[in-house]
Structure 1
Amino acid sequence: MSITENRRSPNGFNLVPPPGWDAIPLRTGTREAIDHIIRKAVAQLPAGFPKDDIPKARLKLNQEFKKVVRRARAKGGMTLYLPTERFHGVPLPVSIVAAAPIEIPRVRPQSGPEAVLAALASMTPDAETRELDDTAALRSERDVTADVAQGVDVAHRRVEYFVPVPGSCPDQYLTFSFSALIAPESDPAFYDTLVELFDAVMGTFRWSYA
């Protein structure tokens, strides 16, 4: 459905992560969310795990979460979604970052977000239009190679959704970024499955007007 100027502007959104995932707010409540996840992880340690090693495990988890949170905030993140439970015994090297709204000037006066999405699509390889809660959005997918000079430490599959905020003035857009680390000589089908998971999560997207 096209976005119209008289559509009421939402004040937020809802997204349902998969089972075994947790959401970490990046503006307020970050520390409390991390502490909750770490307590849950420690409680799930194997029965034979040495008690003397628990403080070290807790510290390592805390350091890892701080690193991931720092990177998400550097991208303008509002909320970070992470798998905090293993999938069939395997940790998933993936994350989803919902970024704060950004303002983008219209392509032409009175042109609306549709023209902005079309312009971005023309400059983005393999971009396509999807609909999220009656809102036209732009989806793109690509493999990013490791390039330390560009600040990319590990190769990864990246999928992004670019979503106009209905009724916003000036026009604002949300970005949802999915990243899956690519291990050397890994099966591409595995990452295709992870991307399908992210697309399913984005299918739960709903605007909030409360």
Structure 2
Amino acid sequence: MSAPTGYRLLLPSDWVQIPVRHGDAEQAARDIVASAFARVPTDVPRDKLTPLRLELERRLLMAVADARRAKALELYLPMRLAGEVNLGASIVVSEAQLPARPGAKGEGDHPSDPAEVAVQLLSGDGGPGTDVSSGEVDGALAVRRERIVPADPERGAELATRRVDYLVSVPGDQTRWFVAAFSTIGADGPKDDLADALVEWFDALMTTFRWSWT
């Protein structure tokens, strides 16, 4: 089997995609802001809109910078119709390249077996309260990991977040894993009802994941 060249997710219409690795992500963020504010009624005073627009653009560009530092492929954010972005939730898509396993003496390196990698992820210490399980996503071996990430003001994370990662082995290429990382701060904390509902939504979203070949 040849390796897929892409993927598809059935995202709601109020979520936007910002490509991080390819294209001008900063310009894409500015275009999203411009599109959102183009839908604001014309009778709204401009002096009230300008500070909001500048703040929205600043926050989007910060999210893009964070995704780029994480070497992400795409960043997904929920965009409200009123022109506000809800940075209380996000999806960051990236790719993990696995090192090859050393072969026996006189042999070259061998690709890491996805099943062995999954066992290591399942048996690894992910920290207190980490929940790890395995399954399949569009026919590919996958590991789901859920945990609470504490606040870290020194790194710009002022609030604790609930994070769910899907690590999916790429068919036809044992050296690559697809990673979809969802995070939310909830309404009153990462363990509240809103956070629970958003995690359930993300799990449902991942059932729509499909590989694509071009």
TM-score if structure 2 supplies the norm length? 0.82
Match of 1:178 in 2: 182
Matched to 1:160, the amino acid is: D
Deviation at 1:136, TM superposition (A): 1.1
Matched, 1:19 2:24: no
Matched, 1:9 2:3: yes
1:107–1:116 CA contact under 8 A, matched in 2:
no
**Alpha carbons of 1:186 and 1:94: their partners in 2 closer, same or farther (altered >3 Å)?**
closer
Match of 1:163 in 2: 168
Comparing 151-160 with 180-189, greater Cα deviation is found at 180-189
- Quick one: which of 32, 39, 56 aligns to 1:61? 56
Matched, 1:189 2:193: yes
Matched, 1:135 2:137: no
Task: Provide the C-alpha distance between the structure 2 equivalents of 1:107 and 1:19, rounded to a whole number of angstroms.
Answer: 46
TM-score if structure 1 supplies the norm length? 0.84
Match of 2:123 in 1: 122
**1:70-149 equivalences in 2 (<5 Å):** 70-85=65-80, 91=86, 93-106=88-101, 112-123=113-124, 124=126, 125-149=130-154
CA RMSD of aligned residues (A): 2.7
Match of 1:200 in 2: 204
Structure 2: 5+ residue stretches without partners: 104-109
Structure 1: 5+ residue stretches without partners: 1-6
1:26–1:80 CA contact under 8 A, matched in 2:
yes
Task: Provide the C-alpha distance between the structure 2 equivalents of 1:156 and 1:64, rounded to a whole number of angstroms.
Answer: 17
Comparing 156-165 with 90-99, greater Cα deviation is found at 90-99
Match of 2:28 in 1: 33
Match of 1:3 in 2: none
Deviation at 1:22, TM superposition (A): 0.5
Identical-pair percentage: 36
Q: Which has the higher contact order (CA 8 A, sep 6+)?
A: 1
1:155–1:182 CA contact under 8 A, matched in 2:
no
**Alpha carbons of 1:107 and 1:158: their partners in 2 closer, same or farther (altered >3 Å)?**
farther
Count of aligned pairs: 202
**Alpha carbons of 1:111 and 1:39: their partners in 2 closer, same or farther (altered >3 Å)?**
closer
